Amino acid sequence: MLLLVYFFTLLSTLVNKSTSNNSLQARATSYTSKGTYWGGNWAGGNCGFSTWPQPSNYPEIAIAGNLWESGAYCGACLEVTGPDGNVKVGIVGDQCPSCTTNGLDMDPTMWAAVTGNASPSIKDITWEVVSCGFSTPIQLINKVGVSAYWFSMQVAGANNPVKSLEISTDKGKTWTTTTRQSSSNFFQPDQASQGNSGNIRVTCNNGKKIFTENVSFTSSGIQNGSGNC
């Protein structure tokens, strides 16, 4: 009996440790760089969020060009700490080619929160990616002009950065990979024609996969995914 209790105690410890390690890995990379003031440009930003409204209470951030990686951080939530310890979470909506390595441009609300309402200048900051904490599912958005012969889709509202999007037109038997377009944050396959509808599999950086069935590839507006990551 004692051996059995010991076994389950050890198993529980290992599970908890694994969960803790995964959580640490998700937040492991912390950047120290420079923060700058910027006017903001949500709908017209390089992330292409012209259809998805900016989430309330999440000021906009533009990320340095060296981390752009074809929009890999688009929609990611960043926890930024200013030189005096002020902390605020914002969301990436644009690229900042002129920013210093790993630097961030911050809109007026984000700047004021992080710097204590300092005058526009250059400030030392640290930052890391955190979960956005959205209670809603991911949003799937077709690009204007899509058809059965041209597929182009954006993922918005993900709690963690989106790693990939795949398409299935045979009910999940096979999957077609896509490439995120650096200039617009839309995912497109090598073979543009994918038909009118199918299934979508989104994978986030934390490894979670979201399977959504019967997604229209030709409609306008926002479609809900089956969950979030």
- CATH number, domain containing residue 64: 2.40.40.10
Q: Torsions phi, psi of 109, nearest 5?
A: -65, -45
In a domain, 45, yes or no: yes
Q: Torsions phi, psi of 155, nearest 5?
A: -110, 130
pLDDT along the chain (229 residues), means of 10: 38 38 50 98 96 97 97 98 98 98 99 98 98 98 97 98 98 97 94 97 98 98 97
Both 116 and 202 in a single domain?
A: no
Both 102 and 179 in a single domain?
A: no
Please tell me the predicted confidence (pLDDT) of residue 156: 98
Give Dmax (Cα) for the chain. Answer: 67
Could you tell me the pTM of the whole model? 0.87
Please tell me the predicted confidence (pLDDT) of residue 118: 97
Q: Are 212 and 174 in contact (CB under 8 A)?
A: no
In a domain, 24, yes or no: no
Tokens at 1, concatenated: 């009996």
Please name which of 77, 73, 66, 145 lies closest in space to residue 110, comparing C-alpha atoms.
Answer: 77
Q: What share of the chain is helix, strand, coil (3-state, %, to 5)?
A: 15, 35, 45
Total number of domains constituting the chain: 2
In a domain, 216, yes or no: yes
Q: By residue range, what is the domain housing residue 210? A: 139-224
Residue 53: C-alpha distances to residues 61, 157, 187 (Å)? 15, 10, 19
In a domain, 94, yes or no: yes
Please tell me the predicted confidence (pLDDT) of residue 28: 54
- Spatial separation of the C-alpha atoms in residues 132 and 209, rounded to whole Å: 17
Please tell me the predicted confidence (pLDDT) of residue 190: 96
Both 56 and 104 in a single domain?
A: yes
In a domain, 119, yes or no: yes
- Spatial separation of the C-alpha atoms in residues 78 and 106, rounded to whole Å: 11
Angle subtended at Cα 147 by Cα 175 and Cα 200, rounded to the nearest 5 degrees: 25
Both 45 and 93 in a single domain?
A: yes
